[in-house]
Amino acid sequence: MRKQLSAVILLVVLFFPSRSFSLTPDEEINIRIYREAAPSVVNIVTTAVSYDFFYNPVPSTGSGSGVIADRKGHIITNFHVINGARSLEVTLFDGGKYEAEVVGVDPGDDIAVIKIKAPASKLKPIEFGDSSTLQIGQRAFAIGSPFGLEKTLTVGIVSSLGRTMRATTGRLIRGIIQTDAAINPGNSGGPLLDSSARMVGVNTAIFSPVNGSIGIGFSIPVNTVKNIFSTLVSKGYVSRPWLGITGQNIDPTDAGLLNLKSSGVLVADVFKESPAEKAGLRGADANVRLGNVIVSTGGDLILSINGKAISTMDELNALMDTFEPGDSVTLKVLRGKKELSIKVILEEMPRSSDERKVKR
């Protein structure tokens, strides 16, 4: 019996050698992508300090991923990976460990830049791609440290483009890439790659009821990262224009119930010393109940900015992103029954909530 089995194995080896030892074209691509890009991906371990019931310090750790951006030691990751961390430790592909410092953060895009002091010879920068050329259905590769398991590759496709995702600041991040390449906790901050091993996105979040990949992952477009990287390195933050209001969406149904002749964004609050206050915008002075919802009333209703109609705060914020601090914009508002045109000179958005106090 053993002689017969040995003869069968010998025949298989002789007549089907390629099937036993060769790689498929897809496997060769996967291996090439990993070999080219993995040395540019790092593991980030964060240490934060909280306090127990007796106010004793209790250190806690977390982990994420990052991408080497240049030979100066700058590393791109997610803001939520390093937010609140007291210390950061970066592990390179070769196992070398380095302390890192935060260089710049952009909570509005969930991007951060940190830096390590490592020899340039140990730093292999990632190659940047162009996320504007992505197409649904093309291959996508994710490298990172899911659940702390370093140097992991997963493969999928670009499932959708142009998604939106809300950052921790409440700002909508636009142009998000959706992929079914497995992304799990710990992958955050790692790269999404195309078939040429170029980074086309920064993996940032998943949609999952089980806290693990179900094939719905999201990446911030690399073009967004490229637009803000130099600013984060030089200034430490991204300068954005600020109007200085909180607003409430008024749809056509709400407008009818409130006896308003148009939908738009109702100014609920005006921040002290903000561009809105300096221009004379008025916030709400009363609240009414519409069904199960409390709606502010009495404030200005913003109808358009520079002639572009708006109906939601998201639309207003999207328009704000097209301006720069110091730009002058004209708001068309409804105050009572009268339409007004109000000129506002935008200022730089305060970086601390302590700098934004509501006018009462």
Q: Tell me the DSSP string of 176-216.
A: EEEE-S---TT-TTPEEE-TTSEEEEEEEEE--SSSS-SS-
Q: Percent of the chain scored above 70 by pLDDT?
A: 84
Secondary structure element (H or E) that encloses residue 84, with its range: none
Q: Report the candidate in 161, 169, 170 with the shortest Cα–Cα distance to residue 192.
A: 161
Give the 3-state secondary structure of residue 141: strand
Q: Report the candidate in 276, 275, 267 with the shortest Cα–Cα distance to residue 247.
A: 267
CB 126 within 8 A of CB 191: yes
Range 206-217 average pLDDT? 62
Ranked by mean pLDDT, the top range of 170-174, 194-198, 294-298, 313-317 is: 194-198
> Residue 359 corresponds to which tokens in the numbers above?
């006018």
Determine the pLDDT at residue 6.
53
Question: Domains in the chain, please, with CATH?
Answer: 38-122 (2.40.10.10), 127-223 (2.40.10.10), 241-355 (2.30.42.10)
Range 46-58 average pLDDT? 60
Determine the pLDDT at residue 212.
53
Range 133-161 average pLDDT? 87
Residues serving a catalytic function are: 80, 110, 188
Range 336-342 average pLDDT? 92
> Residue 85 corresponds to which tokens in the numbers above?
């961390």
Radius of gyration of the chain (CA): 26
Range 99-107 average pLDDT? 94
Determine the pLDDT at residue 191.
95
CB 224 within 8 A of CB 111: yes
The pLDDT tens digits for 112-139 are 999 999 999 999 999 999 999 999 999 9
- Window from 7-16, 105-114, 311-320 with minimum mean pLDDT: 7-16
Cα–Cα distance for residue pair 323/196, rounded to 1 Å: 35
CB 204 within 8 A of CB 218: yes
> Residue 338 corresponds to which tokens in the numbers above?
């009268």
Cα–Cα distance for residue pair 309/6, rounded to 1 Å: 79
Cα–Cα distance for residue pair 27/186, rounded to 1 Å: 25
pLDDT over 50 at 57, yes or no: yes
Determine the pLDDT at residue 354.
47
Range 155-178 average pLDDT? 88
**Model confidence band, residue 337 (pLDDT cutoffs 50, 70, 90):** confident
The pLDDT tens digits for 273-289 are 999 999 999 999 888 88
Determine the pLDDT at residue 184.
76
Task: Give 127's DSSP letter.
Answer: E
pLDDT over 50 at 330, yes or no: yes
Determine the pLDDT at residue 187.
83
Beta bridge partners, 91, equal 43, 97
Determine the pLDDT at residue 123.
96
Q: Tell me the DSSP string of 1-56.
A: -HHHHHHHHHHHHHH-HHHHHPPPHHHHHHHHHHHHHGGGEEEEEEEEEEE-TT--
Beta bridge partners, 155, equal 141
Q: Of residues 56 and 332, which shows the higher confidence score?
A: 332
Each residue of 247-276: b (16+ CB within 10 Å) or e?
Answer: bbbbeeebbeeeebeebbbbbbbbbeebbb
Determine the pLDDT at residue 43.
93
Mean predicted lDDT score pLDDT of the chain: 85
**Model confidence band, residue 179 (pLDDT cutoffs 50, 70, 90):** very high
Determine the pLDDT at residue 12.
44
**Model confidence band, residue 21 (pLDDT cutoffs 50, 70, 90):** low
> Residue 279 corresponds to which tokens in the numbers above?
């221009």
The pLDDT tens digits for 222-260 are 999 999 999 999 999 998 999 999 898 988 888 888 888
pLDDT over 50 at 158, yes or no: yes
Instruction: Give the chain's end-to-end CA distance (angstroms, integer).
Output: 93
pLDDT over 90 at 172, yes or no: no
Residue with tokens 């939601």: 312
Q: Of residues 171 and 53, which shows the higher confidence score?
A: 171
The pLDDT tens digits for 2-16 are 555 455 444 444 444
What is the CB neighbour count within 10 angstroms for residue 207?
12
The pLDDT tens digits for 69-79 are 999 999 999 99
**Model confidence band, residue 52 (pLDDT cutoffs 50, 70, 90):** low
